[in-house]
Structure 1
Amino acid sequence: MNNIIIHPSYFPSISHFVAIAKADVVTFEMEDNFQKQTNRSRMYIYSPNGIQLLNVPVKHTKEAHQRTKDVKLETAFDWQKQHFKSLEAAYRTSPFFEYFEDDIAPIFQKKHTFLLDLNLETMSIVSKCLRMEFDYEETTEYFHEVTDKKDFRNLINGKKDIAFFEPYTQVFGEKHGYLNNLSILDLLFNEGRYALEYLRKQEL
């Protein structure tokens, strides 16, 4: 049995879904402390100008350590509209954007309170688009070391995620070259129904 533990994140990087596609049982880390500057609250897409960061704003507290599951979204400005506009600018001309648009768009209209609920829903939507249904468990306690599962929690820190994957055709590839390990949306909009097969062929 290939059991893994991994963080839920916002439209995760391709590496997340490579790990999940090869797993028999997936456990989501629910008890960690929130860290800024990680993919817990951000994704990277391929814009007309190259790589673009889309960051989810969260409410800041005075607590030194806040659990990720307690982190609330900032609703003072319409970041969702901005994110969807950025996705449109990046992928409107991709082969599969229109095919998946109706599946993806509602998440940018729904008002979540907690970051973790948003992340879990983005992962659920993408797995349905990929036709990759998977069962997952949730941690109830935090352990720094895990011995009974393959630990992929480091993938949440983009700087430590050094996986390199087989190039596929990207919308602005001729302009800026291949950009590796972007959000799963990049693969989905460019490869569509072939995306799951691609994920299963990659190595972490």
Structure 2
Amino acid sequence: MPAVLFESQYNPPATFFAELLGADALWLEAHDHYHKQTYRNRCLILTAQGAQVLTVPVLNGNRSEKVLTSAIEIDYRQNWVHRHWRTLQTAYGSTPYFEYYADYLHDIYFQKPRLLFELNLSLLTFYFRCLRLRLPIHITTEYHSGSTFGQHTPSVSLLDRRDWLTPKAAAGASPDRKSVRPYPQTFGKDFVPDLSILDLLFMQGPAAGTFLA
């Protein structure tokens, strides 16, 4: 299977990881222009009130379309780390595996990296370990459109999935999108798709990877 190219995402949806099954490698786009209201700085979790968005505030938001994704800085003037952590504790504190992962996640959050890309990469590397995904992660060194990427890296067979998953997209909108097998969730009777990988990990722990196929 070819390598997969994704943009950097904050606590990506489980579908992100399902798309990597069988891939040769993951490439992360570091040279695209930052886009607001995407998974680059937000994720979707499940609470007693339903699905809820958690957003990492960034600096220079008003001119973010002119800033590289890899250069976007996190805005720590807002106490978002404490707010996100408390929300995760409230939503998932009683799940079977919250305590199993909590200390590791807490350490990543409270390192308070300067760049959003750094935070996302630290979280992604942790999730790879949790899911036992052993494919290498590469960072792009310059930007190429999907049609020209292969011309500049002819040795790489690549599946371009940049901005393929978005918070606004309906579940299953892409006909070739890989699905995540339904699993018991903390709230509600109907399965809620497209949640952050955190939801699956907190509910299924080391078995989470078996639900990605």
Q: What do residues 106-130 of structure 1 show as CA deviations (whole Å, max 9, x unaligned)?
A: 1221111111001100101111222
Equivalent residue number for residue 183 of structure 2: 168
Q: Does 1:54 align with 2:54?
A: yes
Equivalent residue number for residue 7 of structure 2: 7
Equivalent residue number for residue 204 of structure 2: 191
Equivalent residue number for residue 90 of structure 2: 89
Q: What do residues 53-94 of structure 1 show as CA deviations (whole Å, max 9, x unaligned)?
A: 000000016645111111101011220111011011111111
Bigger Cα displacement from structure 2, 137-146 vs 36-45: 137-146
How large is the Cα RMSD of the aligned pairs?
1.7
Bigger Cα displacement from structure 2, 111-120 vs 98-107: 98-107
With normalisation by structure 1, the TM-score equals 0.90
Distance of 1:152 and 1:161 partners within structure 2 = 16
Distance of 1:195 and 1:47 partners within structure 2 = 19
Please say if residues 42 and 56 of structure 2, whose CA atoms lie closer than 8 Å, have aligned partners that are also in contact.
Answer: yes
Shift in CA distance, 161/66, structure 1 to aligned 2, threshold 3 Å: farther
Please say if residues 7 and 156 of structure 1, whose CA atoms lie closer than 8 Å, have aligned partners that are also in contact.
Answer: no
Please state whether the residue corresponding to 2:66 is helix, strand or coil. Answer: coil
Letter in 2 for 1:46: L
Please say if residues 26 and 136 of structure 1, whose CA atoms lie closer than 8 Å, have aligned partners that are also in contact.
Answer: yes
1:180 equivalent among 193, 206, 209: 193
Distance of 1:110 and 1:139 partners within structure 2 = 25
Equivalent residue number for residue 74 of structure 1: 75
Structure 1 stretches lacking a partner, 5+ long: none
Shift of 1:161: 6.3
User: Alignment length, in residue pairs?
Assistant: 198
Distance of 2:6 and 2:158 partners within structure 1 = 10
Shift of 1:185: 0.3
Letter in 2 for 1:198: F
Shift in CA distance, 61/39, structure 1 to aligned 2, threshold 3 Å: closer
Shift of 1:2: 2.4
Structure 2 stretches lacking a partner, 5+ long: 151-156, 173-178
Please say if residues 9 and 156 of structure 1, whose CA atoms lie closer than 8 Å, have aligned partners that are also in contact.
Answer: no
Shift of 1:159: 2.4
Equivalent residue number for residue 99 of structure 1: 100
Equivalent residue number for residue 110 of structure 1: 111
Please state whether the residue corresponding to 2:138 is helix, strand or coil. Answer: strand
Letter in 2 for 1:157: T
Distance of 2:139 and 2:109 partners within structure 1 = 25
Distance of 1:188 and 1:81 partners within structure 2 = 21
Equivalent residue number for residue 152 of structure 1: 161
Please state whether the residue corresponding to 1:125 is helix, strand or coil. Answer: helix
Equivalent residue number for residue 43 of structure 1: 43
Distance of 2:107 and 2:170 partners within structure 1 = 29
Distance of 2:201 and 2:21 partners within structure 1 = 14
Identity %: 32
Distance of 1:196 and 1:66 partners within structure 2 = 35
